[in-house]
Amino acid sequence: MFGLDKKDTTMLLVVAIMALFAPFILNPFPADSAMAQFNAGYPDLMQRFVIFGIFAIGFNILFGLTGYLSFGHAAFLGVGSYSAVWMFKLLSMNVIPAILLSVVMAGLFALLIGFVSLRRSGIYFSILTLAFAQMSFNLAYSVLTPITNGETGLQLTLNDPRVLGVSQTADGSIPVTSLFGLEMRSTYEMHLGPWLFQFNAGYYLSALIMLASFYLAIRIFRSPFGMMLRAVKSNQQRMNYTGLNTRPYTLAAFVISGMYAGLAGGLMASMDPLAGAERMQWTASGEVVLMTILGGAGTLIGPVVGAGFIKYFENIFSKINDNVLHQWFAFMPDGLEDAMVFIVHPFIGKGWHLTLGILFMLVVIFLPGGLVEGGQKIAAWVRKKRNKGSDDTTTKTEPAE
């Protein structure tokens, strides 16, 4: 199906089902229950899951296939966001032109940075990309203020000279982003007993684009181009000795990866038309590195898993405070309750990075292939136990003659 083998088709269908039914999957607890704080099925967070999944998928094409570790991919995310907001300001509030411009501008910017950075490899390449990203951040923050609006960030105003749309609505407010009239913020709420499920137009647009991006990544991984990138990762020096110039392949991978990042930036601006220089900071680049390694670098579904894992921690786990902890341990005696809160407190709320760091360390030590490797080991163990059980039941003792 779709030119994929059975295994890849199954994986694509699993991702599609998870994306389309995310409002149900991410809201397992009733809205009025004490566990409802762990629900993640609200539009803003679901959008972040799939948008950063696109970002991580693109980064994995570069890092997972070629082994080139870039610390500057946030620059392309920022360029995509700025391009999309400028398209909203100058042309129309339709998200399609904005997303297309984001991809094109990020690709051109990646071509420029990649042409220079790929003259080096290893740690030197990583430092070069980091330097370019920080230069981009500083330019956006100060020098290019007329274009980026500096520290305030680029946003829509009532005076935007929009060619194919109005600058303000009939009630005097700023128009909202839409897809041929369907507003990205429009949300349908479904109440099923104590459960509340929200279906957001912006999320489903992002999810469909993520599925298309995931399918394209599968085709790249399985193509001769993908095999060439794996060969670069395996032994680029040996390939150069054979007379094969690997730079066009690595540059193409870098540009494709940058275009994915620009797509993610354009989608972020389409959901919330605001672009700030903070999206270009080195911390954003480091975040996508964590997502990819945590999920499983070089695997197809790993970056998506890693992106969802980190964004869940960032938005759900970080909201747990001392009041919630006291509710959890209220059944204990007062002294023991306070002691448990004191012990757990550094790992939740603002200290969620500590928990994430510990989990990341454990994954790197015990699961070098990321969470995907952990899932594969569990599945192999289950199959082994099942096969062993079936062998025990089918084996019969033959009578001695």
pLDDT tens-digit profile of 93-115?
A: 999 999 999 999 999 999 999 99
pLDDT value of residue 84: 94
b/e sequence 335-364, b meaning 16+ C-beta within 10 Å: eebeeebeebeeebbeebeebbeeebeebe
Q: What is the pLDDT of residue 392?
A: 61
Helix-then-strand count for the chain, H and E: 16, 6
pLDDT at 399 over 70: no
Check whether 372 has a pLDDT greater than 70: yes
Say if CB 84 and CB 76 are below 8 A apart: no
The length of the chain in residues reads: 401
Segment 38-47, tens digit of pLDDT: 888 889 999 9
Q: Tell me what the pLDDT averaged over the chain comes to.
A: 88
Q: How far apart are CA 361 and CA 358, in angstroms?
A: 5
Beta carbons of 304 and 295 less than 8 angstroms apart: yes
CA dist 144 and 197 (Å) reads 42
Judged by average pLDDT, the poorest of 160-169, 193-202, 255-264 is 160-169
With contact defined as beta carbons under 8 Å apart, do 209 and 263 qualify?
yes
Q: Is the pTM of this model over 0.85?
A: yes
Give me the pLDDT at residue 401, please. Answer: 40
Lowest mean pLDDT among 82-91, 132-141, 342-351, 392-401: 392-401
CA distance 301 to 19: 13
| Whole-number pLDDT of residue 394 | 55
Chain segment 229-281, per-residue pLDDT in tens? 999 998 888 888 888 888 999 999 999 999 999 999 999 999 988 888 888 88
Alpha-carbon Rg for the chain in angstroms:
24
Identify the DSSP state of 94: B
